[in-house]
Structure 1
Amino acid sequence: MKRLWSVKHSSGRMTEKLRDFLGISPVVSEILIQRGYQQPEEAIEFMRPTLLNLISPFCFCDMLQTVERLSLALERKEKVLIYGDYDVDGVTSTTLLYKVLIDLGLQAVAYIPHRQDEGYGLHSEAVERAAKAGVSVIITVDCGVTAVEEVELAKTLNIDVIITDHHEPLKVLPKAFAIINPKLENSGYPFRDLAGVGVAFKLAQALLQSLGNDETGIHSEIKLLDLVALGTIADLVPLIGENRVLVHYGLRQMEETNHPGLAALLEECGLRDKTLKAGQIGFMVAPRINAAGRMDSARAGLELLLTEDAERAGELARQLTRENQSRQETEKEILAEAISLLEREPLPRVIVLSTDHWHHGVVGIVASRLVERYYRPVFIISEDGEEAKGSARGIAGYPVLEQLSTQAHLLTKFGGHKQAAGFSLPAKNIKKLREGLNEQALAFDETLFQEVLRIDSQVALEAVSGDLLRQLDLMAPFGFGNPGPILASKEIPVHSLSTVGKDQSHLKFRFGSKGELEGIAFRLGERLNELKDKLTLDAAFVLDWNTFRGQENVQLMIKDIQTEANWLNPQSVHEADPTAYQEIAVTNEEIEIEWLDWRDLPQKEWPIQYNQRLWIWDNTGCMPTLRLGNDLASSQHTQGEGSEEDPLNQDEDGKVNQSLGLVFGLPLTEEDFREGVDKLRRLGIFRIALAGFQAPLEERVRQRCCYIAREELVQLYRELLAKSSRANPFRWGTVLKISAKEKAGLKVFEELGLIRCLGGTDEIVLEWIPAQSKLDLESSLRYRLAKERLDRALKFHNQLLVSSIQLKKLY
């Protein structure tokens, strides 16, 4: 089916503001804004990720008691079983936690169930075997949050179960000793999208910070990030927030990995000693580890990552390559058969296919391929006698796990995410599952099943350059949740076109009047005859480097190509405000604000009508907040003037009194002021009073702007230098959290290349890097932004405090 192409409207002035401050292409600034990074500080934190932004593992409510339990296990020399999963996320989670526990001196054993013989998750048989082997603690990684009965069995056998998982929990939770899962409603952790290996890393962080010493301490955290990056990329969690930081630094660590098995695997993929990208790991490295679990047992992948023997690592890497090749052949056969089955009849809304001879370990990949081809949710099932196991993959707007749960009465077991899930069921129920899912799908609008290609920016071919690609690379690592920006050009001149690849399955283009730009379209070889005689084409593509004989040239990686693209008119999307109050739709965005000047009035003289609804943008605390202020309104009047039983604030005619907005306290920055006015406008409030203004201490303004003065930076520099002269790397901070201002200074020094963070959250480990030449503070975007914000804030304060202020010019 031909895709529709869609591109959002330009953000205009906001794009120019971001472009000018960061010194970047308007294409890049527009993409940043479209992805939610509208303010310079947001864009800087995104484009320059730092380990200093990692969240404390002790935000997890159950983390402290988990550390205490494992500390007791260390003291008592108890046996601890790490129970994982057979995919890359599970294997890396198991490897990481096993290495940390062993390094800390615990008696740890690692176990991964066999995909075919045991299936996913914690099993009763494994729990019973663990009890017979003398295990006192089981730590699940990348599984366990649905293992209610198995955890209950473990308790009867005197085994404490600690669950670390990232899958969606069911209504009933296991009664485990502790559950560390960011998707729990009361997890305490502010970032919910960690992969299983990310959650395991958080436990490792807590253990290293609590039980580590100079040899096995915080500084070893960074050496684990290659495993974290591998599992996170493979599991297709969003590469935003903390995941982005972990993968960014994990890829760097992978380039100099101290894990012989990972080094051997990179060598086998031809990636050793190269700058690594998330896409290479996802398409070349991860599938080799996955192949072991899919085709036989994941234990070969686990052994590879655990071994310290380089020779054995090489043998295992070659073995995984052979298994991956076998997996590819099996996948190809199943895909061909699935396509043949599908094309006999009209395409259903939800594809549900099954046979008794498909390899269960590969059906998930085949499901993904079918989604790419047909843009339908796909459920592929492998039958084994009276039982069957399946994998599901979804499309945007179709929540796989939620839809699967509507058929729970037909299933034996199921679990997963919005876009992917696994399940098992009696084979006799497959037909009912197919009918049930397709009946449920009728509730979705038909447009859901029409694929729309989201274009990040429409550009002229002349704008495609190495400089543009270098700027776009600052947005990497790319992957799920942060895809490589898709650009589009209309009517590109086609110089030449041919098929390439082993089966002539790919298309190779030369674009431009002289063929100056190369393009490659994977798996589109079948469209050669359709496109070969066209003089111009519309192309959607991402940019990448093509390295040949030491030379790097820009290459277009084609996502879609049409003789004439079908463009979908961009629709304005209303983003719901996350605050708890009810918004009132603003029908006329051009309504002018009526400003009221109460700056010099004491509170008791504010002319507020009784029962008038009052919304206050309060700037007197640490951070500005929006709240209802009827308590203030009531305090202006004596008791008996009205009834407390008048919640709608109605007047004598039964009409609701016009709401009033109040900017209370001098906003510390212009951004604070505008944010408050925007929130009031969205509530339908256009009468806004200014009150309670007085000049704040400049130190408060500096803190709000995250500004640290040059003199303070000099002092911090001297302290860091003194610390590093005694030991390098060195610890910085205490059990008390590092202040926001101090962290801002450290980020500036990191930008300037003076320090490198090696791990930690409250207390961190830093490596000092002596400057090779004189440094310019202005070269730090963070310092420049904070300085500019402070200057702008102080100027804005002077404007707001002037008695003759022009209120109409405020907003």
Structure 2
Amino acid sequence: MKRIWSMQQLYGRTATTLQDSLGISPVIADILAQRGFPQPKEAIEFLRPTLLNLPSPFCFRDMSRAVDRLSLALKQKEKVLVYGDYDVDGVTSTSLLYKVLSDLGFNAVSYIPHRQDEGYGLNSEAIERAAKAGVSVLITVDCGVTAVAEVALARSLNIDVIITDHHEPSDTLPEAFAILNPKVKDAGYPFRELAGVGVAFKLTQALLQTFGNSEVGIHSELELLDLVALGTIADLVPLVGENRIIVHYGLLQMEKTRHTGLEALIEECGLRGKPLKAGQIGFMVAPRINAAGRMDSARAGLELLLTEDVERASELARLLTKENQSRQETEKEILAEAIAIVEQKPLPRVIVLSSNHWHHGVIGIVASRLVERYYRPVFMIAEEGEEAKGSARGISGYPVLEQMTTQAHLLTKFGGHRAAAGFSILTEDIEAFRIGLNKQASAFAETLFQEELKIDRQVTLDTVTGDLLHQLEQLAPFGFGNPGPILACKEVPVHSVSAIGKERSHLKFRFGSQGEQEGVAFRIGERINELNRESALDVAFSLDWNNFRGRETVQMMIKDIHANANWRSGESNGYHEVAATLDLPEILWLDWRKLNCEEWPILGIKEQMWIWDTTGGEPILRHWSDADDKGQSSEKASQPSLDHLNQGAGLGLILGLPLTEEDFGEGIEKLRQLGVNRIALAGFQSLPEERVRQRCESISREELIQIYRDLLAKAKIVNPFHYGCDSKISSVERIALKIFEELGLIRFLGGTDKIALEWIPAQSKLDLDSSLRYRNSKERLETAFKFQRELSELVSLDDTVGKMGEGGKVNC
């Protein structure tokens, strides 16, 4: 079935603002706005990720409790077991936590269950063996949040269980000593999408910050991020927020890793000495570790990441390559058999396949391959006598775990994510499971099962340059949640098409009148005759570098190609675009700028009042509360009110001076979405300059110089060094540190309140304006002062309406 090419919405003025503020191309500006970074400040934090933005591990409600229990275990030399999972996320989590516990002096041991013999997660036999071995604290990594019975058994055997996990919890939580899982209700942690290794890393952060020595730790957190990045990439969690920061720095650390086994594995993959990308790790490094757990036991992968013996590391890396080759052969056989089964009958909405000779460790990968081929949710099941084990993979809009829940009466065990899951089922119930899932899927629209290729930006062939690719690379690391941008050209002149590869299964294109631009499309060799007939083609592609005989050129990596692609425009975004197509009433403006709050004519309408409050930190939308009544005079409140205030959907109040036109426009947009079209401006007393600076996160050159001198003085005593030892780092200091990090003056090594830094002497004279953060903070401050002056000095609110656009519609 021909894929739909869905064009993302262009962002017009928003993208132009980003382009001008950040000095980026309109293509990059549009992509940033599409991905949720419409303001320069947000875009800068995305383009310049910093470890200084990592939340404190103690945001977890149970973190202090977990650390206290481990502190007791350290003092009493209790045996601590790290219990992991057999996939890459679990293996990296186990090795990470075991390394840190051992180096901090804990009596630590590690254990990963055998996929075939023991299955996923905590199991009773392993817990009983741990009790006999004298384990008194058990820490799960990448598992445990659904292990209610197993944790109860551990408690009965006097083992305290600390759960670190990231999977969706069930309704009943285990009665563990502590649970660290950002998806648990009231967990306290601000970022939900950590991988299992990400949660384990938060525990190691807390341990290093609590038990690390007075120097800059036994391990710096930075040196551990290569392991965290490896597990995060492999587990396909969204590469946004904290995950993006971890992977960005983890890849840089991986290039100079201090972990002997990981270094050997990178060498084995032929990546030693090369800049590393998330895609390379996901397709070359991670599968080798995964293969051990899939085909036999994950212990070889764990040993590799833990060993410090160079020869043993090389031996294990070669062994994992052989395991991976065996996995690939098995996968190829199962895939061919699965395709033959599927194509015997009409394609169902949900593909459910089973066999008594499929290897359970490989069926998840095959399920992913079938999703790519047929764009259907796939449930692959390996029958093992009366019982069977399965893996599921979904498509966009199809919540795998939720759909499995509708068939829970047929499953003996299941768990996972929205996009992927694992389960156990009686073999005799497989057919009922297939029927049930497809019956449930009939409720979905047919369009859900038609694959959509999202095009980030349409471009012309002459814009496909090295400069554009360099700018696109600033959006990396790419992966789930932050895919590599897909561009498209319409009616591109085709100069030549040729088949390449051993089996001539790939196509190479030359585009342009002189064949000046090269493109490669994989696995579509059978279409050569069809495409050779066309003089022009629509091409969807990403960009990459092609290094050939020392010459570096830009290459189009083709995602889809047709003579006439099936185009569909994206939906409009934002109130200011919707307003042009809706017949919204004009705004009735009320001028209360010169009134004190006691003089506002609001008697009898407070329950209808919505306030866009710009007087605090970030602007917020709130309903009138009792707190707003404090200090108001009943005599003043009984002043005659305007009759029209009691008509319609209520009253909106923009309280205080917004800093920017965007703040102002956002407030009006939110009020209009509530159906409010009568808006008062109030509380327009000028903010103190210092408050404006804080809101703009602006820092003066003088403040930067002072902090620079403080850092330099500390570095002269000892380098690396701790900063913020006596008190929490102030917001001004944090801004300065981010600027200095961007300028290459410091390297962040770890910590949240008390942080570890390495000073890097400047090699040349520094230009503060080369820092995006510094330059943009100055611009924000100047814009804020200018906008506030304009808003305060308006003679009448007719001026306001004029400023916002004809008819009172938001135009900002």
For normalisation by structure 1, the TM-score amounts to 0.95
Taking only the aligned residue pairs, the percentage that are identical comes to 69
Match for residue 629 of structure 1 among 624, 629, 633: 624
State whether structure 2 residue 406 is matched by structure 1 residue 411: no
Number of the residue aligned with 1:659? 650
Shift of 1:641: 8.8
Q: Which moved more, 1:251-260 or 1:780-789?
A: 780-789
Number of the residue aligned with 1:421? 421
Shift of 1:570: 2.6
State whether structure 2 residue 131 is matched by structure 1 residue 131: yes
Match for residue 612 of structure 2 among 617, 621, 628: 617
Q: Distance in 2 between matches of 1:585 and 1:538?
A: 33
Shift of 1:772: 1.2
Match for residue 797 of structure 1 among 763, 784, 788: 788
Aligned alpha-carbon RMSD (Å) = 2.3
Shift of 1:435: 0.2
Number of the residue aligned with 1:315? 315
CA 1:265–1:594 in 2, change beyond 3 Å: closer, same or farther?
Answer: same
Q: Which moved more, 1:490-499 or 1:389-398?
A: 490-499
Number of the residue aligned with 2:7? 7
Amino acid at match of 1:720: L
State whether structure 2 residue 725 is matched by structure 1 residue 734: yes
State whether structure 2 residue 593 is matched by structure 1 residue 602: no
> Would the aligned equivalents of 2:216 and 2:721 in 1 still touch at CA under 8 Å?
no
> Would the aligned equivalents of 1:509 and 1:518 in 2 still touch at CA under 8 Å?
yes
SS of 1:175's equivalent? coil
Number of the residue aligned with 1:438? 438
Match for residue 758 of structure 2 among 767, 778, 801: 767
Number of the residue aligned with 1:695? 686
Number of the residue aligned with 1:578? none
Amino acid at match of 1:807: T
State whether structure 2 residue 688 is matched by structure 1 residue 714: no
Number of the residue aligned with 1:512? 512
Q: Distance in 2 between matches of 1:722 and 1:589?
A: 63
Shift of 1:218: 7.5
SS of 1:610's equivalent? coil
> Would the aligned equivalents of 2:704 and 2:736 in 1 still touch at CA under 8 Å?
yes
CA 1:492–1:409 in 2, change beyond 3 Å: closer, same or farther?
Answer: same
1:303-343 per-residue CA deviation (whole Å, 9 max, x = no partner) reads 11110011111111111111111111111111111111111
Number of the residue aligned with 1:808? 801
SS of 2:115's equivalent? coil
> Would the aligned equivalents of 2:216 and 2:722 in 1 still touch at CA under 8 Å?
no
Amino acid at match of 1:770: P
Q: Which moved more, 1:3-12 or 1:660-669?
A: 660-669
Q: Distance in 2 between matches of 1:507 and 1:800?
A: 59
> Would the aligned equivalents of 2:593 and 2:684 in 1 still touch at CA under 8 Å?
yes
> Would the aligned equivalents of 2:216 and 2:720 in 1 still touch at CA under 8 Å?
no
CA 1:223–1:775 in 2, change beyond 3 Å: closer, same or farther?
Answer: same
Shift of 1:215: 6.0
State whether structure 2 residue 169 is matched by structure 1 residue 169: yes
Q: Distance in 2 between matches of 1:706 and 1:244?
A: 23
Q: Distance in 1 between matches of 2:93 and 2:726?
A: 27
1:501-553 per-residue CA deviation (whole Å, 9 max, x = no partner) reads 33333222222223222222222223233323322221111101112222221
Shift of 1:149: 0.3
Amino acid at match of 1:691: A
Q: Distance in 1 between matches of 2:675 and 2:634?
A: 25
> Would the aligned equivalents of 2:140 and 2:163 in 1 still touch at CA under 8 Å?
yes
Q: Which moved more, 1:40-49 or 1:506-515?
A: 506-515
1:463-494 per-residue CA deviation (whole Å, 9 max, x = no partner) reads 10100000000000000000000011112222
State whether structure 2 residue 200 is matched by structure 1 residue 197: no
Number of the residue aligned with 1:580? none
CA 1:95–1:611 in 2, change beyond 3 Å: closer, same or farther?
Answer: same
CA 1:586–1:471 in 2, change beyond 3 Å: closer, same or farther?
Answer: closer
Shift of 1:589: 6.2
1:10-61 per-residue CA deviation (whole Å, 9 max, x = no partner) reads 1111111111111111111111111111000111110110111111000000
CA 1:630–1:401 in 2, change beyond 3 Å: closer, same or farther?
Answer: closer
Number of the residue aligned with 1:646? none
Shift of 1:610: 2.4
Q: Distance in 2 between matches of 1:784 and 1:339?
A: 56
State whether structure 2 residue 146 is matched by structure 1 residue 122: no
Q: Distance in 1 between matches of 2:19 and 2:218?
A: 38
CA 1:720–1:574 in 2, change beyond 3 Å: closer, same or farther?
Answer: closer
State whether structure 2 residue 753 is matched by structure 1 residue 753: no
SS of 1:281's equivalent? helix
Q: Distance in 2 between matches of 1:563 and 1:588?
A: 36
SS of 1:462's equivalent? helix
> Would the aligned equivalents of 1:219 and 1:759 in 2 still touch at CA under 8 Å?
no
Number of the residue aligned with 1:676? 667
Q: Distance in 1 between matches of 2:729 and 2:268?
A: 43
Q: Distance in 2 between matches of 1:331 and 1:803?
A: 70
Shift of 1:220: 1.3
Q: Distance in 2 between matches of 1:216 and 1:143?
A: 31
Amino acid at match of 1:727: V
1:397-450 per-residue CA deviation (whole Å, 9 max, x = no partner) reads 000011011111101111110000001111000000000000000110111001
Amino acid at match of 1:771: A
Shift of 1:801: 3.0
Number of the residue aligned with 1:553? 553
Unpaired segments ≥5 residues, structure 1: 576-583, 643-648
> Would the aligned equivalents of 1:608 and 1:636 in 2 still touch at CA under 8 Å?
no
Q: Distance in 2 between matches of 1:375 and 1:280?
A: 24
SS of 1:395's equivalent? coil
Equivalent residues in 2 for 1:297-376, closer than 5 Å: 297-376=297-376
Amino acid at match of 2:48: R
Amino acid at match of 2:244: R
Shift of 1:214: 4.3
State whether structure 2 residue 779 is matched by structure 1 residue 788: yes
Q: Which moved more, 1:345-354 or 1:603-612?
A: 603-612
Shift of 1:279: 0.3
Number of the residue aligned with 2:471? 471
Q: Which moved more, 1:23-32 or 1:274-283?
A: 23-32
Number of the residue aligned with 1:645? none
Number of the residue aligned with 2:808? none
For normalisation by structure 2, the TM-score amounts to 0.94
> Would the aligned equivalents of 1:614 and 1:633 in 2 still touch at CA under 8 Å?
no
Number of the residue aligned with 1:282? 282
CA 1:458–1:633 in 2, change beyond 3 Å: closer, same or farther?
Answer: same
Q: Distance in 2 between matches of 1:729 and 1:303?
A: 31
Shift of 1:738: 1.5
SS of 2:18's equivalent? helix
Q: Distance in 1 between matches of 2:699 and 2:120?
A: 51
> Would the aligned equivalents of 1:611 and 1:650 in 2 still touch at CA under 8 Å?
no
Q: Distance in 1 between matches of 2:442 and 2:304?
A: 47
Q: Distance in 2 between matches of 1:315 and 1:298?
A: 16
Amino acid at match of 1:621: G
Equivalent residues in 2 for 1:451-530, closer than 5 Å: 451-530=451-530
Amino acid at match of 2:619: P
Shift of 1:671: 3.8
CA 1:536–1:361 in 2, change beyond 3 Å: closer, same or farther?
Answer: same
Number of the residue aligned with 1:51? 51
> Would the aligned equivalents of 1:351 and 1:379 in 2 still touch at CA under 8 Å?
yes
> Would the aligned equivalents of 2:9 and 2:569 in 1 still touch at CA under 8 Å?
no
Q: Which moved more, 1:726-735 or 1:479-488?
A: 726-735
Amino acid at match of 2:770: S
Q: Distance in 1 between matches of 2:638 and 2:713?
A: 68
CA 1:800–1:639 in 2, change beyond 3 Å: closer, same or farther?
Answer: closer
Q: Distance in 2 between matches of 1:533 and 1:658?
A: 61
> Would the aligned equivalents of 2:225 and 2:250 in 1 still touch at CA under 8 Å?
yes
CA 1:686–1:143 in 2, change beyond 3 Å: closer, same or farther?
Answer: same
SS of 2:116's equivalent? coil
